[in-house]
Structures are given as structure tokens and as C-alpha cells.
Structure 1
Amino acid sequence: MTPAPASLSLRHALLAVVVMAVWGSNFVVIRVGLDHLPPLTFAALRFALAFFPAMLLVSRPNVSWRNLASYGLLIGGGQFGLLFIAMNGHITPALASLVVQMQVFFTIGLAAMLSGERVRPFQFVALGIAVAGIALIILNTDAMTTPFGLALVLAAALCWAGGNIVVRSSPKADMLGYVVWASPFSVVPLIAAALMLEGPGAMAAGIANATPATWAAVLWQAVGNTLFGYAVWGWLLSRYTVASVAPMSLLVPLFGIAASAAFLGEPLQAWKLEAMTLVLLGLFINLMWPRASAMLRRREAPDAT
């Protein structure tokens, strides 16, 4: 089996940046949807629309139902169920967009433990710098962020990491079909949890009171975030090493904080800018170190001969 490339091509890196912009701005969209819909109901609607009517147009990929179920449970039932609950009054959109990026470190750690994928020294340095940025955000929590909210988002990050590992086990699968046909495995547990924790009355009232903006948020979640974002993300993960792809998601909080400040008026204090700088520096080192090293080796090659 040919080893996965250790660094993204420029074209694929730019594609990943587009996905990160969609995901980052999505935290503002989530906040809009939660104004009327209970969190688990909102998440269930998102994945229901990601499945239907797309399932009529997209064939089921050639992977096992167990694989699809594992991905659907982890990404839908785990990551977004927990994230939506946390964002329903327990954590701000900007901070949620940062803390959930712990998935980068969870993903690389799981890959190292489960498949022996090597993490190179410069990646430890890059991730350490990025962790410092996230730690700075966590240390500056206020009344708008609770320990419960932080714990939920960290659990969501771990579920995201698990989903990343699952999708890498099917590198040849059509990723759009993969995301579509994994979605019903998100819907079922989310509806079950909503019935137990929110109740049929709250679910029905939320849907009845939903505004056009609410439904636009649900549609954006289904099409932009899920069908486009996760299909491209899974495609990249299936073709490159986890350590080269996963850190790209550190751009999500940069877009998330900027969108929260622009559209929700969330304060952009100096410490947030400092944290964003650390995160961006860690990402830059992780992406550019292999290119710089390769360029240096090419320059030194003639001298060696």
C-alpha cells in the first residue's frame, strides 16, 4: 500500500481553507438556529436534511453498514449533539469554535495509538504552540462560559476525532455518498435523545415557532456544513496523513471568532487576538515546515554530489 503523502498540495490546502471558513462561520449560524429550536431537535433536523432528498441522488458507498453507523453516531449523535447543547447557553460561539479544535490532538493521538502513524518532531512543536493558544482562551473564561459547557465541547472534540479515524478506514469510498448515508445513523439517536431530554412538546413548539432564518440555518447546516464540509474533509483525510490534515481545522476558530465579532457583536479582546496568533503560528509551522525542509534539501543536493 502506497504511504499517504505527509503534506498537502497547495490546491488541496486551499480547498481545506474554504471548508474551514464554512465551519468557522457556522458557529454563528448555529447560534441563530438555537434561538428557536431545542439543540438536539436542531441537530436531528440538520442530519435528516443531509440524508433526504440527497439519498435519492447519491448511491450508498461500498462500505459496511457498521462503518457508516460508527461515523454517524460519532459525528452526529456525539460531536454535534454535544456541541449544540453546549452552545445553548453554556459557551460562546467564539470559544466553542476554539475548544472543539482539541480534536486535532485527539485525532493525531488516536492515529498514533491505533495505526502507529508517526508524528514528527516539528509537528509536536507546532501542536504545542497551538495548544498554548487554546489554553489561553480556556484560562480567560467568564460568566458566559461554564465548566459544563467546556466539558461538553471537549467530549464533542473527542467524538469528532473518533469519526476522523473511522472515515480513514474507507479511503476509496465516495465521500459525499459516505456522509449522506451515514446521516440516518445520526438522526435516530438524536431524535431519541431529544424525546427524552427535551420532550415532544418542546420539539413541536420549536418547529412551529421557527422563522425563515431558523430554517435557513438548518439548511446551511445540512448542505454547506455537512454535505460539502464533511465530504471534502473526509476526502482529504483518506488521502493524506492525519497529522498533515487535522491541524488545518485550527483555522476554524479564526473564522469563528471573526464571524462572532462581526455578526453577534462578541467582544474581541486582546487575549483572543493573542490566542488566535498562537493558533495560526502553530498551523503555519505544521504546514510549511515540510515544504521548507524539502526546498532546503533540493538546494543542498548539488553540493552533496
Structure 2
Amino acid sequence: MTRYRNVLLFVILAAFWGSAFMAIRAGLEFIPPVLFAAIRYDVAGVLMLAYAIYVTDRWRPRTRGEWTLVLVGGALMIAAYHSFLFIGERRTPSAAAAIIVSLSPILTSGFARIFLPSERLTPAGIAGLLLGFVGVAVLSLSNSGSGESLTTTVIPQLLVFLAAFSFALGSVLTQRIEAELPIETMEAWSMLLGALMMHAISVARPSESFSAIRWTPDAIAAIAYLSIFASAIGFLIYFDLLDRLGAVEINLVSYVAPLFAALTGWYFLDEVVTPLTVVGFCIVFAGFCLLKRNAISRELPRITGVFTSGR
């Protein structure tokens, strides 16, 4: 068991994060989107804060830099990301949403070249970035049915793209902020602050209110799964793997998750994965490999060793 520990945790994380797209789609039948996301992180934030208090000696931010870090993370990586994602997923299949979100590592590299002076985008890197956008364009075609309007096809997927855009921008901007805060503490407070922001957004949306929630067993199950498994436990696994795997390796979760999104979407929601969806995914993944080609070739022997050695 020890020998395959890293592989097992990697697959579990991909399964939790991939099936989360299905759980979002399922829960949106009963709960307004932004309010749904806010409630998810009410629960997840409290659980993560309890964990941060248990494992760290810095369970709350203290300096201006630390609060700035939490503010940026909460605003972009939690509130903006999940608001766009949950609204967009009302009309975007689970697998398609997961594939668009898998563009985040590519966008992160692009933003890094803009905001981080030490980074530089090569011609091959530009090609990889463009390939990612081509993959999303193909994905849009795969989910556009004849006779369907722009509102019901492209705009929801654009919202999911804006979710990936927000997350990537937030992940780069947080690297520019000088603050030494344990990642568990940063995640906990970002979740709580992001949840508060999403409650404010939900109040500002005329179509959303607590009275609009239908508290069915499926709705409660969706909230519980997303809060406990996809968020709290998922991030704990992520932190554990982050100590063993580098940034390139952990980003590969984004490209395994769509497989679980497709399987769970098909099994629970009768969603169909079209050939063009598969082509779009392959193009996005090719863009990631091209953009990260040097890091992948450099880290490949270590990835294999870490996954099989159990270290």
C-alpha cells in the first residue's frame, strides 16, 4: 500500500475534483448558483479553519500583507472563480466545464509572464497558450447544438472560462504578495472571506434568495459532498501531495479530473461526451505540455520515482 500511496491519493484527488462538476450540476437543480457556492464555502471554510487551528501556530492573518493575501485569494480564487463557474455550469456539461477549467495552469503561466519579472514567455510557450484557447473554441463547437442561441451555448462556457481566468490571475497575484502565512490558514480565511463575498453577490441578484432553495435530499447531498469531500478533504490531500510533487506534477490533476467529470456526469446525469469534446480536451492538454515542455522533461524521472516509491 505504501508503494502506491501517491498514485492512490492522486487518483482520489482527481476523482473528488472531477466529480465536483457533476455535483454542482446536480445541486443547481435545487439551489440558486451563487448562493449554492456561498453555502459550500461556509461549511468548507469552517472545516478548513478548524484544521488550520489544529496543525499550525498561525491560525489567523496578522500583518497587512497577510490580510492582503487572504483578500486577493478570497476575491479571485474563491468568490469570482466559483460565482462564474456555478452560473456557467447551469448550461455547461460537467466534462466540458472541467476541461475549460483545466485551462487554468496554462493561463497561470501566461499571467506569470506578465506579473512576475523572472518569468518569460518563449515562442513555444506562446504556441502552447494559443493551443489552449483553440481547445476551448473546439469545445464550444462540440456543445453547440443546431437551433440553440448564443445565450444557451457560448455565454455559459464563457462564464466558465472567466472562472478559470479568475483563478489563474489570483494564483499569480498571490505570489507577488510578501506574506508568510501557512497555506492551510490562507485557504481557510480565503474560503470564509470568499463565501462572505458570494453571499453579498447573491443578495444583489434578484433571482436568488434562501426561499428559492428546495431542501431535497439531493440538494443536501450536493452541498455535503462539495463542502466535505471536494473542498475540505480534497485540499488536505492536495497539501499532502504538494510536499511530494512539484507544481508541474500537481497541475496534472486538472487533466485527470475531466475523465471523472465525464464518467460521473454520464452515470448520474445522463450527460453525453461528444467526439469534439475529446478533441478539445486533447488540444488543451497538448497546449499545457508544450507550454511546460522543459519542466515536464526535467521532472519526468522524478515524477515516476515519486509515484512508485511511496516517498
Q: Establish whether residue 20 from structure 1 lines up as the match of residue 27 from structure 2.
A: no
Q: Normalising by structure 1, report the TM-score.
A: 0.76
- The one-letter amino acid paired with 2:262 is I
User: What does residue 3 of structure 1 align with?
Assistant: none
**Structure 2 counterparts to residues 1-305 of structure 1, below 5 A:** 15-59=9-53, 60=59, 64-88=66-90, 90-115=91-116, 116-118=118-120, 132-143=134-145, 145-168=152-175, 173-198=181-206, 202-206=209-213, 209-230=214-235, 233=238, 245-246=250-251, 248-279=253-284, 286=293, 289-291=297-299
The answer as to whether partners of 2:13 and 2:238 remain within 8 angstroms in 1 is: yes
Aligned length: 282
CA deviation vs aligned residue, 1:187-240 (integer Å, no higher than 9, x gap): 22111111111456x32230xx21222112112212222223345557777997
CA deviation vs aligned residue, 1:6-60 (integer Å, no higher than 9, x gap): xxxx976764453222111111111121111000110110111012255345332
Report the alpha carbon displacement of residue 186 of structure 1 after superposing the two structures with TM. 0.8
Q: Which runs of 5+ in 2 are unaligned?
A: 54-58, 303-311
Q: Which runs of 5+ in 1 are unaligned?
A: 1-9, 295-305
Please report the RMSD computed on the Cα atoms of aligned residues, expressed in angstroms. Answer: 3.6
The answer as to whether partners of 1:180 and 1:227 remain within 8 angstroms in 2 is: no
Q: How many angstroms apart in 1 are the aligned matches of 2:103 and 2:285?
A: 14
The answer as to whether partners of 1:47 and 1:186 remain within 8 angstroms in 2 is: yes
Going from structure 1 to structure 2, the CA distance change for 1:99 and 1:53 (only over 3 Å counts) comes to: closer
The answer as to whether partners of 2:248 and 2:296 remain within 8 angstroms in 1 is: no
Q: How many angstroms apart in 2 are the aligned matches of 1:215 and 1:109?
A: 38
The answer as to whether partners of 1:247 and 1:283 remain within 8 angstroms in 2 is: no
CA deviation vs aligned residue, 1:81-135 (integer Å, no higher than 9, x gap): 11101112x3222211111222122100111222223567776676666555444
Identity in percent: 24
**Mean alpha-carbon deviation: is it higher for 241-250 or for 104-113?**
241-250
Going from structure 1 to structure 2, the CA distance change for 1:196 and 1:103 (only over 3 Å counts) comes to: same
Q: How many angstroms apart in 1 are the aligned matches of 2:13 and 2:142?
A: 28
Q: How many angstroms apart in 2 are the aligned matches of 1:111 and 1:11?
A: 32
Q: How many angstroms apart in 2 are the aligned matches of 1:254 and 1:282?
A: 18
Going from structure 1 to structure 2, the CA distance change for 1:279 and 1:16 (only over 3 Å counts) comes to: farther
**Mean alpha-carbon deviation: is it higher for 269-278 or for 12-21?**
12-21
Q: How many angstroms apart in 2 are the aligned matches of 1:98 and 1:140?
A: 12
